[in-house]
Amino acid sequence: MTTHNSAVIAEPMLLEIYRRAALIRVADEKFQKMISSGQLQILYYSPRGQEILSAALMTAVNVSDYLVTTYRGIHDQLAKGIPLRLLWAEFAGKATGTCKGKGGPMHITHPESGVMVTTGIVGAGLPIANGLALASQLAGDGKVTVVCFGDGATNIGAFHEAMNLAQIWLLPVVFVCQNNLYGEHTPQAMSTGAKELIDRALGYGIKGVQVNGNDAFAMHAAATAAVERARAGGGPTFIEAKTFRFLGHLLGDDSHYIPAAEMAAARAADPLPAYRRELISRGVDESVLSGIDAGIAAQVEDAAQYALDSPYPDTREIRVDVLKSEIAP
């Protein structure tokens, strides 16, 4: 497994990874507060613990590159660059959201940021990503599609079909398995015969990379290599990025099925504070990071208030955007 890669990442990029990861962390905490206090009534799948993975991954792609992600996708969506206000408003079901409040948290879509689909159907994103990548290949537009999914998704038929087809057609797609070791309440060993998920790539002749997803340097390097390879016509890569979810499957889950020692060890190695310490040890001034933190805190408060103040969609909107040729209200 790849951990700390010695490849040098320039300081602006290191700070950008920090900014995106910190934004995810603060937004996640605010979402939790709003849900616990009843200001927001949604099912919430926290990405807590997986912030660095997304930030390091999405800084390896362009805004115009495509992303397909899942219900546990707020880290990916924010790291890809969806404006915070629009994301928050969509989570709150408001007319100012990315999908005019009609998609909700499970269906975040914002093509302007390259976020093409968010799906609640486990494994469903992979064939869709192939479709996007095929369109790019045919158009020759040079775009790469990244699709994120969990370890549990690697047991779904669509995963296997999509991996096979992507390799045969050398599609410009990067399959990123965010392996947090659990699917709902089931540990990987109880649902999956293969010990290492990376081995699944072998069966399809796909290049497989196993990486510590919580290590920003290793994750960014692995993602950059996979994206460059796809863009150059080299075909797909399967990245197994090891990580951990700190708050169970969805908000309110007490994680009783996770051994206490496993949870404690994961929390002690919380990737975001570890990355912050690493940056300081590399000479980044703490005041620079604190300045980023302060800006994010204000941005999050602003977005949350924007969502609360925004109106719900008009009921006449219900039949609009359903079909390509819209039905007039």
Ligand X SMILES: Cc1ncc(C[n+]2csc(CCOP(=O)(O)OP(=O)(O)O)c2C)c(N)n1
- Residues at the contact surface with Mg ion, assessed by CB under 5 A: 150-151, 180, 183
* From the list ligand X, Mg ion, none, partner contacted by residue 244 (C-beta under 5 to 8 A by kind): none
Nearer to ligand X, 129 or 279 (CB): 129
User: Nearest approach, Cβ of 329 to ligand X (angstroms)?
Assistant: 32
Nearer to ligand X, 83 or 120 (CB): 120
CB of 125 within 8 A of CB of 148?
yes
* From the list Mg ion, ligand X, none, partner contacted by residue 153 (C-beta under 5 to 8 A by kind): ligand X
* From the list ligand X, Mg ion, none, partner contacted by residue 121 (C-beta under 5 to 8 A by kind): ligand X
> Tokens 């996770």 — which residue?
258
* From the list ligand X, Mg ion, none, partner contacted by residue 220 (C-beta under 5 to 8 A by kind): none
* From the list ligand X, Mg ion, none, partner contacted by residue 43 (C-beta under 5 to 8 A by kind): none
* From the list Mg ion, ligand X, none, partner contacted by residue 137 (C-beta under 5 to 8 A by kind): none
Which residue's CB atom is positioned nearest to Mg ion?
150
User: Nearest approach, Cβ of 161 to ligand X (angstroms)?
Assistant: 14
User: Nearest approach, Cβ of 66 to ligand X (angstroms)?
Assistant: 20
User: Nearest approach, Cβ of 36 to Mg ion (angstroms)?
Assistant: 23
Q: What token pair was written down for 320?
A: 């609009």
Nearer to ligand X, 73 or 313 (CB): 73
CB of 211 within 8 A of CB of 205?
no
Q: Of 211, 248, 295, 258, whose CA–CA distance to 27 is shortest? A: 295
Range list of H helices, the chain = 11-36, 51-58, 74-80, 84-91, 125-139, 157-168, 188-191, 199-202, 216-231, 260-268, 271-281, 286-309
Which residue's CB atom is positioned nearest to ligand X?
150
Beta bridge partners of 177: 149, 240
Q: β-pairing, 182-183 with 66-70?
A: unpaired
User: Nearest approach, Cβ of 277 to ligand X (angstroms)?
Assistant: 26
Buried b (16+ CB within 10 A) or exposed e, 272-282: beebbebbeee
| Contacts (Cβ under 8 Å, ≥6 apart) of 128 | 68, 116, 117, 119, 147
Residue 298, burial from CB neighbour count under 10 angstroms (0-12, 13-18, 19+): exposed
| Contacts (Cβ under 8 Å, ≥6 apart) of 23 | 78, 84, 296, 299, 300
* From the list ligand X, Mg ion, none, partner contacted by residue 122 (C-beta under 5 to 8 A by kind): ligand X
Nearer to ligand X, 44 or 149 (CB): 149
Nearer to Mg ion, 30 or 72 (CB): 72
* From the list ligand X, Mg ion, none, partner contacted by residue 47 (C-beta under 5 to 8 A by kind): none
Interface positions with ligand X (CB under 6 A): 72, 120-122, 149-153, 180, 182-184, 249
Nearer to ligand X, 182 or 217 (CB): 182
Nearer to ligand X, 150 or 235 (CB): 150
User: Nearest approach, Cβ of 70 to ligand X (angstroms)?
Assistant: 6
Nearer to ligand X, 201 or 303 (CB): 201
| 194 DSSP 8-state letter | -
Q: Of 81, 64, 59, whose CA–CA distance to 143 is shortest? A: 64
